[in-house]
Structure 1
Amino acid sequence: MTTPETSPKSTPAKGKTTTFTLLRAIVHLRTWWREAVIEDVDQDSCIEGIRGESLFTSRYVFMICMSAGIAVLGLLLSSPAVVIGAMLLSPLMSPIIGAGFALATGDFLWLRRCGRALLLGSLIAILFCAAIVFLSPLQTVTSEIAARTRPNLFDLLVALFSALAGTYAMIRGRMGTIVGVAIATALMPPLAVVGFGLATFNWTVFGGSLMLFVTNLITIAITAALMARLYGFRTRLTEKQTRLQDVGIFVVFVILAIPLFLSLQTITFEARAAGQIRSTIEEAFVEEARIDQLDINFEADPLQVEASMLTPEFERKAEANVARRLERALGRPVAVEIDQFRVGTDPGAAEQAQLERAREEEQERASAEQVGNLTERLALVAGVPLTDVTLDRDNRRALADARALEGLGLEGYRTLERRAAADMEGWDVRLRPPALPLPSIPLDDEGALGSEGEEAASLVQWAASRTRLPVSLSGPDGAVTALAERMREAGIPVTIDDGRQTGQIVARWAGPQS
């Protein structure tokens, strides 16, 4: 006898009950959404607010130029803080979201105006950045620039989630959230990199950054349109046009996702390949060996691997063995070059050598930066180009010929030299002044150098040592003879003229003045 629980007729009844319950839940959810969420949105006020910020105005152009200028300078300096400053302005965010709302509501006049603002704003930003890069002495692809040349699927997802947050903030009147959204989507830095690529004719950089910008732009606009539809913004589109719009949005997302997914695959392969290369090199040496530096060029054919190893034992066939194993693992030709440096056999010898080498590299970088600062300071105080500063790194000397500045005396040039030499302990920094008239050297009542006389004599001696011109002294015999002997010991040629001035020593240039 069949029980009700095991009856075959009971299963369809359960299925129908489940379907009915699910449909009823969906109906209740839609009703709640309309009454509790959509009815609470002031659509007219929201549309007017977005429309007012999304059109092409003089303020919009000014903010475009300021944001672009900050972005490109931050990229050239490789300064994340400066780049974030450009993101905060985010003048392109409003017309992009405006285009999404115009698309959702079927207001094609508004859509054309947003498109015009976006096109002109993008062109202005690209050309403005290109002009700055073209005039700049810095045209190197920095890490901040390189980071925006290879968009992938994750960039699309970042733009998607950011657009959801930004559109929600505009609809619900929480505009403060836009700041975080602007940083996440980072619309202006990719445009600045496009300008960099245009100015330097680097089409790889140009194309990659343009792809990233287009990805962010389209994703934000389409997501804004979907959010506007979800919040029930009134539309002029028919039901058939709405369905076609849905299909078009889906197709655009797929078209964007395919190349970005392929790019993500490439990045994933390179990350895995780098790990494989590192482990293969380590396995070719003894356990105590350490990799000090590893450079991989995936663009080269064959793939190029350059490594530095700190090892207690040299491996003669390491390069051939590593290349052979990597070719089997990666399925492509590999050229391997390994520089081996012998370290002690102690367990921590490799680590210690690595630390010491890192410290040396850090000291070299700090020293190079210090010398660069010295060159800039010395060129600035001398009023000459950087190329006119003479540097002798081996002997730690720096020299520049100062231009004549109206109203500046020898004491002023000596002060400028001291400023240039600040924080440069161990360096002989010299600023060669023009051959200006030398000061008289006062004597005290006893015919000796007092404090004022010592200061004046020191200035004369400094000027003579910098210009390398001979000096003529005249004055009381005892004081002149003593000062002349002191200056000769300092390597300064001195002649003594007949003169019986009392109370001071007169100093003049004895040679040709330049």
Structure 2
Amino acid sequence: MTDQPAQTGAAQKFRGRANSLGGFAARVAGPLGTWWRGSVIPSIEHRAVIAKVDDESGLTPRYAFMILMSAGIAVLGLLLSSPAVVIGAMLISPLMGPIIGLGFGLAMVDGNEIRRTAISLGAGVLLAVFFTALVVFFSPIKDITPEIAARTRPNLFDLLVALFSALAGAYAMIRGREGTIVGVAIATALMPPLATVGFGLATLNSTVFFGALMLFVTNLMTIAIAAAVMARLYGFGPKLTSRQSGVQAAIITTVFLALAIPLGYSLSQIAWEARAQRQTRDMLADQFPPQAKIDQLEIDFSSDPLTIRATILTPQIRAKAAERGEALLATTLGRPVKLSLDQFRVGTAAGDAEAAQLASASAREQASKERATIALVGRELAILAGVSPDAVLVDREKRLAQVRASPLPGATLATYRALEQRLSQAEPQWQMQLIPPPLALPLISFDDDEPDAVGVQNLALVTWAARRTGLSLTVQGAGNRADYVLTKLREAGIQAETNGSRNSDGPIRIDWAL
């Protein structure tokens, strides 16, 4: 009894279209078209298929609940970098239904169906993105894991995967092979990209946000269009004139080209990186004896210059291998290169190679800890400054971390200096620099010709603020007191000039020379 409304609605949609079955295939010339119209299309239960599409593409409480559960599982799998958990989210995600429903609505030129499935799809997307963003916001883990990074660089192959999967999914829906939908859900992976979009939103990482969004839009558009094509092929929708068919084909081609061009560029970039890694490995191998082995090779393609770190196990240490390698790689790759090369001597004794690999592994572990420390320092400094971690400048060699703080309500220069000192105590191996906004500078009070205790503290605060900001100062005052302040500031390397005169017995006022 509960299926009767769906069946009735399906019958109403189907009524008026029955005479147009095969409109798409009717334009296929020759015996193949005749066979398709006479044998294949009549074997399809069109009413049942439309009812099934309607049932799986509606906005229902069950649909919303499954979206939330799938999104939660997906974001936890991404944060834990667990492929098994991510696959679990793919299996229960209900997003495939509305997208295929949207394709059938386009094929049947049914405005009500398009609007209904678009609302269902849009609600599901918003639920997934904001729920995953909420989970990430309250999560103590906000690192970009390999599972997250894998969904931030879509390419042309992703479009082809979505295309083949969509054709398989639409065919399974039409021919009653529902079990195939499970495999299609895993192949297209609709929910993990949305969870990655939520991660990018929560962490304010535009690269992750837009990269994952591009992957989801690619999957969505490709599945919808491919489903529409399959629906037309199997006789769903009204008969079109030759002009209408041409317009439809032009729209489909334009959409695919609009997706394929940026994805093709991304694929070419990935191919260049793979070729650059191979050339780097070959170039480094040529710098050492044939017995040498490249134990580790890491390339940071996002840095400028290109940063390359390599570990070599070699029987002979080459003194200037890094300098020669930098020059050769810069010429070969066409980009400036900064090469960091760790060499471990390997002799002819049986245990030398194993000992060298152990030493290399220890060095890698130390480097990994160093990178983790750098990330932690950046996050801590960003939190104190009230900015994004991307705004923190970290110099690994100088062990310097610097950030320009945003104005905090009620904060003074003394507040920013105290924050910097607190973080410096927590990370004593690093030099922390918190650049404050140019707030009002304190007065320098005196006791006779020298600052009193408060004046000494204020002068030290002014000196700190001027060093951090790099701005010049103007000193308002006259007599020995002004000269004293000017001398102390200039001795600290700060550009300062006098500006006007005041009572030589009062406190000295200092302003920013903006």
TM-score by length of 1: 0.64
Measure, in 1, the Cα distance between the counterparts of 2:350 and 2:36.
67
Note if 1:117 corresponds to 2:120: yes
Partner residue, 2:159 = 156
How has the CA–CA distance of structure 1 residues 95 and 309 changed in structure 2, closer, same or farther, with 3 Å as cutoff? same
Partner residue, 1:205 = 208
Measure, in 2, the Cα distance between the counterparts of 1:339 and 1:363.
13
Q: Percent identity?
A: 60
Contact 1:102 1:111 in 2 (8 A): yes
SS in 2 for 1:341: strand
Measure, in 2, the Cα distance between the counterparts of 1:362 and 1:321.
27
Measure, in 1, the Cα distance between the counterparts of 2:251 and 2:350.
63
Measure, in 2, the Cα distance between the counterparts of 1:117 and 1:177.
23
Gaps of 5+ in 1: 1-24, 366-514
Note if 1:99 corresponds to 2:102: yes
Partner residue, 2:55 = 52
Following superposition, the deviation at residue 90 of structure 1 comes to: 2.2
Measure, in 1, the Cα distance between the counterparts of 2:355 and 2:138.
45
Pick from 41, 65, 70: which aligns with 1:67?
70
How has the CA–CA distance of structure 1 residues 272 and 363 changed in structure 2, closer, same or farther, with 3 Å as cutoff? closer
SS in 2 for 1:65: helix
Measure, in 1, the Cα distance between the counterparts of 2:270 and 2:162.
19
TM-score by length of 2: 0.64
Pick from 318, 325, 328: which aligns with 1:325?
328
Measure, in 1, the Cα distance between the counterparts of 2:261 and 2:367.
45
How has the CA–CA distance of structure 1 residues 297 and 363 changed in structure 2, closer, same or farther, with 3 Å as cutoff? closer
How many residue pairs get aligned? The number is: 342
SS in 2 for 1:212: helix
Q: Which stretches of structure 1, 4 residues or longer, exceed 3 Å deviation after superposition?
A: 236-242, 345-352, 355-365
Pick from 27, 30, 39: which aligns with 1:27?
30
Measure, in 1, the Cα distance between the counterparts of 2:366 and 2:172.
49
Pick from 255, 258, 273: which aligns with 1:255?
258
Note if 1:312 corresponds to 2:315: yes
Matches within 5 A, 1:355-434: 357-358=360-361
Contact 1:88 1:182 in 2 (8 A): yes
Note if 1:127 corresponds to 2:130: yes
Following superposition, the deviation at residue 289 of structure 1 comes to: 1.5
Gaps of 5+ in 2: 1-27, 369-514
How has the CA–CA distance of structure 1 residues 295 and 363 changed in structure 2, closer, same or farther, with 3 Å as cutoff? closer
CA RMSD of aligned residues (A): 2.3
Letter in 1 for 2:43: D
Contact 2:172 2:178 in 1 (8 A): yes
Contact 2:345 2:356 in 1 (8 A): no
Matches within 5 A, 1:222-371: 222-235=225-238, 239-346=242-349, 349-350=352-353, 353-354=356-357, 357-358=360-361
How has the CA–CA distance of structure 1 residues 237 and 292 changed in structure 2, closer, same or farther, with 3 Å as cutoff? same
Measure, in 2, the Cα distance between the counterparts of 1:219 and 1:209.
15
Contact 1:129 1:192 in 2 (8 A): yes
Following superposition, the deviation at residue 168 of structure 1 comes to: 0.3
After the TM superposition, which of the residue ranges 297-306 and 141-150 deviates more from structure 2? 297-306
Q: Residue by residue, what CA displacement relative to the aligned partner does 1:313-351 show, whole Å, maximum 9, x if unpaired?
A: 111110111111111211111111111122214588446
Q: Residue by residue, what CA displacement relative to the aligned partner does 1:399-452 show, whole Å, maximum 9, x if unpaired?
A: xxxxxxxxxxxxxxxxxxxxxxxxxxxxxxxxxxxxxxxxxxxxxxxxxxxxxx
How has the CA–CA distance of structure 1 residues 321 and 240 changed in structure 2, closer, same or farther, with 3 Å as cutoff? same
Larger radius of gyration: 1
Measure, in 2, the Cα distance between the counterparts of 1:38 and 1:45.
14
How has the CA–CA distance of structure 1 residues 331 and 363 changed in structure 2, closer, same or farther, with 3 Å as cutoff? closer
Measure, in 1, the Cα distance between the counterparts of 2:222 and 2:289.
51
Letter in 2 for 1:120: A
After the TM superposition, which of the residue ranges 313-322 and 209-218 deviates more from structure 2? 313-322
How has the CA–CA distance of structure 1 residues 43 and 239 changed in structure 2, closer, same or farther, with 3 Å as cutoff? farther
SS in 2 for 1:278: helix
Measure, in 1, the Cα distance between the counterparts of 2:209 and 2:186.
21
Contact 1:288 1:347 in 2 (8 A): no
Measure, in 2, the Cα distance between the counterparts of 1:364 and 1:152.
31
SS in 1 for 2:330: helix
Pick from 125, 149, 165: which aligns with 1:146?
149
Measure, in 1, the Cα distance between the counterparts of 2:299 and 2:367.
24
Measure, in 2, the Cα distance between the counterparts of 1:346 and 1:288.
13
Contact 1:54 1:114 in 2 (8 A): yes
Contact 1:106 1:237 in 2 (8 A): no
Measure, in 2, the Cα distance between the counterparts of 1:297 and 1:220.
34
Measure, in 1, the Cα distance between the counterparts of 2:242 and 2:235.
14
